[in-house]
């Protein structure tokens, strides 16, 4: 489904239930040291209330404290903040408030360097979770690191391991500062444990003798070893080895573990061209590269925080959108004056791009079952000045054809999928997907395709797309659909996207390793007249 980054609007996350026992592990009693400075604050408009006493710790690294707490929120509450705004807020609340409630003290506010480190450490620690768990278990001789209590101790240890192994930070500084965090937030004994395992890790790293598995034995054993070395679930490794071969599967995992790059789409609907965007990036000194595939897009590797702070997203002048998603819109080929239905539209990245290409003439009906995400889409459409051509419809697509007599010549079904093509950006997704999900998703995709087909006029176009690289969600779903619906046929996408993205069957497919983009798929299907 479309992924839209918009500053100031909440991200949609699935909440996970927290058991009473899990909640209790968050009630930590901090050690009060000389570095914990108490001071009082009175919130504006609360003159009659007692002042709130806070403890400001100037010795603990702010980015480590924030990273540890955020990692706990991700694991316990399902939160994942892809972007931080200029005040260091995540998921709509001040990071320091989370830190204080969890650790019992505040650190100084995050500066730009802290923000970058939090993003790097949180994303990297999640991405390398299996690899880090293996190292911690091996070095601490604890085969079940979940027994480390409280949960915070796991996060502090993982942060230290990630910094030493993957960031190549000075070992003495990593040990010293993470030990300090463990002692202040938990107890002296926790600091001693962190000290012991981090020092041992540092020695092993310096001697190039990390305890890592060897890729040997039968297919299952090799898959387990590769899953640890490249930090992916075993079922994904086995699946990709089956479809791609081991060498390509390794390349794909290496891509997923690299720091993600992003693309920006200039919003023509607001009269903001790519040239205008380039001028802004030059002024902000953000390195960039023009997309060779789409006229509105610019690639960036670093500097996203700078762009956010400059307000370019908040003003609706541009949006963060991968070129792979933009190329799916190219397959739809929206033209001024057309009426287009975007099924499963929210949060609306493709909807907004389609709307901008209508040049104020035509209509996009954005259908989605999630009312909250539709509300975000509607607000963002207004911000991007395309709300005059976007109409939102809250409905389950599978019942929409019966409840609303809506038909048109172009329908986009950007189907819910595994997201296996966007794992470089969604560091958490690899751990939230199960093999069992694939069968459920395929059933849902079939049902949605059948429903979407009812919205297409004779001679009209149905575009089926995913952000997956899995053939069972892509080619096989189209083949199954065509068997059920012989009145549809494939229309090759070679007129709409560069030939390098066109498969033998005439589908659009972006390969992360080959194209350095998110993985995505689209089939253009025509209904017989």
Per-residue pLDDT reduced to its tens digit, 295-338: 999 999 989 889 998 999 999 999 999 999 999 999 999 999 99
Q: Which residues contact 428 (CB under 8 A, 6 or more apart)?
A: 74, 80, 126
pLDDT of residue 400: 86
Give 230 or 3, the one with higher predicted confidence. 230
Q: Which residues contact 147 (CB under 8 A, 6 or more apart)?
A: none
**Is residue 213 one of the residues assigned to a domain?**
no
The answer to whether residue 52 scores a pLDDT higher than 60 is no
Domain endpoint, select from 72, 93, 127: 127
Q: Is 396 annotated as belonging to a binding site?
A: yes
- To the nearest whole percent, how much of the chain has pLDDT over 70? 84
Give 91 or 301, the one with higher predicted confidence. 301
167-171, 251-255, 479-483: lowest mean pLDDT where?
167-171
pLDDT of residue 40: 35
pLDDT of residue 148: 66
Say if residue 304 is in the same domain as residue 364: no
Distance CA 242, CA 240 (A): 5
The answer to whether residue 147 scores a pLDDT higher than 60 is yes
The answer to whether residue 7 scores a pLDDT higher than 90 is no
**pLDDT, tens only, 9-33:** 322 323 332 232 232 232 233 333 3
The answer to whether residue 244 scores a pLDDT higher than 90 is yes
Give 37 or 97, the one with higher predicted confidence. 97
Give 149 or 384, the one with higher predicted confidence. 384
Domain endpoint, select from 68, 98, 127: 127
**Is residue 409 one of the residues assigned to a domain?**
yes
Distance CA 75, CA 79 (A): 8
The answer to whether residue 251 scores a pLDDT higher than 50 is yes
pLDDT of residue 47: 38
Q: Is 219 annotated as belonging to a binding site?
A: no
Say if residue 301 is in the same domain as residue 373: no
Say if residue 52 is in the same domain as residue 7: yes
Closest CA to 121 of 78, 75, 166: 166
Q: What residues are annotated to the active site?
A: 467
- Domain with 74, as residue range(s), is 2-127
Q: Is 349 annotated as belonging to a binding site?
A: yes
pLDDT of residue 519: 98
The answer to whether residue 96 scores a pLDDT higher than 90 is no
**Is residue 452 one of the residues assigned to a domain?**
yes
The answer to whether residue 143 scores a pLDDT higher than 60 is no
Q: What's the number of domains the chain is made of?
A: 5
Q: Is 414 annotated as belonging to a binding site?
A: yes
Say if residue 358 is in the same domain as residue 506: yes
Say if residue 275 is in the same domain as residue 140: no
Count of C-beta atoms within a 10 Å radius of residue 284: 14
Domain CATH for 297: 3.30.70.1170
pLDDT of residue 54: 59
The answer to whether residue 235 scores a pLDDT higher than 70 is yes
**Is residue 492 one of the residues assigned to a domain?**
yes
**Is residue 211 one of the residues assigned to a domain?**
no
Say if residue 507 is in the same domain as residue 375: yes
**Binning pLDDT at 50, 70 and 90, where does residue 142 land?**
low
Q: Is 348 annotated as belonging to a binding site?
A: yes
**Is residue 509 one of the residues assigned to a domain?**
yes
**pLDDT, tens only, 444-468:** 999 999 999 999 999 999 999 999 9
Q: Is 176 annotated as belonging to a binding site?
A: no
CB 303, CB 372: distance < 8 Å: no
Give 387 or 259, the one with higher predicted confidence. 387
pLDDT of residue 51: 38
pLDDT of residue 446: 98
pLDDT of residue 106: 84
Q: Which residues contact 3 (CB under 8 A, 6 or more apart)?
A: 321, 322, 325, 347, 349, 422, 425, 467
pLDDT of residue 104: 86
The answer to whether residue 488 scores a pLDDT higher than 50 is yes
**Binning pLDDT at 50, 70 and 90, where does residue 79 land?**
low
Domain CATH for 522: 3.40.50.150
Domain endpoint, select from 185, 206, 227: 206
Say if residue 300 is in the same domain as residue 184: no
Average pLDDT across the chain, whole number: 86
**Is residue 75 one of the residues assigned to a domain?**
yes
Question: What torsion, rounded to 10 degrees, do the Cα atoms 392, 15, 17, 84 define?
Answer: -160
Say if residue 473 is in the same domain as residue 385: yes
pLDDT of residue 256: 97
Say if residue 330 is in the same domain as residue 355: yes
Q: Is 350 annotated as belonging to a binding site?
A: yes
**pLDDT, tens only, 377-422:** 999 999 999 999 999 999 999 998 776 678 999 999 999 999 999 9
**Is residue 7 one of the residues assigned to a domain?**
yes
CB 369, CB 399: distance < 8 Å: no
Say if residue 333 is in the same domain as residue 478: yes
Say if residue 116 is in the same domain as residue 135: no
Say if residue 397 is in the same domain as residue 517: yes
């Amino acid at each position: 489904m479309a992924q839209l980054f918009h500053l100031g609007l909440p991200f949609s996350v699935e909440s996970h239930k927290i058991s009473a026992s899990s909640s209790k592990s968050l009630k930590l009693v901090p050690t009060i040291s000389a570095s914990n400075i108490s001071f009082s604050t009175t919130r504006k408009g609360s003159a009659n209330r007692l002042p709130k006493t806070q403890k400001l710790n100037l010795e603990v690294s702010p980015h480590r404290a924030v990273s540890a707490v955020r990692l706990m929120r991700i694991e316990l509450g399902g939160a994942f903040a892809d972007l931080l705004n200029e005040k260091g807020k995540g998921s709509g609340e001040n990071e320091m408030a989370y830190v204080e409630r969890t650790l019992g003290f505040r650190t100084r506010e995050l500066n730009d360097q802290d923000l970058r480190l939090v993003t790097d450490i949180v994303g990297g620690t999640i991405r390398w979770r299996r690899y880090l768990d293996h190292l911690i278990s091996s070095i601490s001789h604890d085969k079940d690191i979940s027994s480390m209590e409280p949960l915070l101790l796991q996060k502090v240890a993982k942060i230290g391991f990630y910094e030493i192994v993957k960031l190549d930070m000075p070992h003495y500084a990593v040990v010293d500062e993470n030990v300090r965090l463990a002692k202040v937030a938990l107890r002296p004994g926790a600091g001693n444990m962190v000290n012991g395992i981090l020092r041992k890790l540092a020695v092993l790293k310096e001697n190039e003798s990390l305890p890592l598995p060897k890729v040997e034995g039968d297919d299952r054993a090799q898959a387990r070893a590769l899953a640890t070395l490249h930090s992916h679930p075993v079922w994904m490794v086995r699946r990709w080895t089956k479809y791609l071969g081991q060498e390509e599967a390794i390349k794909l995992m290496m891509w997923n573990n690299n720091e993600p790059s992003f693309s920006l789409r200039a919003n023509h609907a607001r009269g903001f061209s790519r040239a205008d965007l380039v001028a802004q990036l030059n002024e902000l000194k953000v390195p960039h590269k023009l997309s060779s595939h789409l006229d509105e897009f610019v690639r960036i590797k670093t500097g996203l925080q700078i762009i956010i702070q400059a307000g370019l997203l908040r003003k609706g002048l541009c949006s963060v959108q991968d070129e792979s998603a933009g190329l799916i819109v190219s397959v739809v080929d929206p033209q001024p004056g057309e009426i287009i239905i975007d099924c499963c539209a929210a949060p609306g990245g493709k909807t907004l791009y389609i709307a901008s290409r209508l040049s104020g003439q035509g209509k996009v009906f954005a259908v989605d079952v999630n009312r909250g995400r539709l509300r975000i889409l509607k607000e963002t459409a207004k911000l991007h000045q395309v709300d005059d051509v976007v109409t939102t419809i809250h409905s389950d697509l599978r019942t929409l054809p019966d409840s609303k007599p809506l038909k048109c010549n172009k329908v986009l079904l950007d189907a819910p999928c595994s997201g296996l093509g966007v794992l470089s950006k969604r560091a958490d997704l690899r751990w939230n997907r199960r093999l069992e999900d694939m069968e459920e998703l395929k059933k849902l995709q079939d049902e949605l395709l059948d429903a979407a087909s009812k919205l297409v006029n004779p001679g009209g176009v149905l575009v089926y797309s995913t952000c997956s690289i899995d053939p069972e969600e892509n080619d096989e779903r189209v083949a199954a659909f065509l068997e059920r619906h012989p009145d549809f046929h494939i229309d090759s996408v070679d007129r709409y996207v560069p030939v390098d993205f066109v498969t033998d069957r005439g589908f659009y497919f972006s390969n992360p390793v080959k194209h350095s983009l998110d993985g995505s798929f689209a089939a253009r299907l025509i209904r017989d007249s």
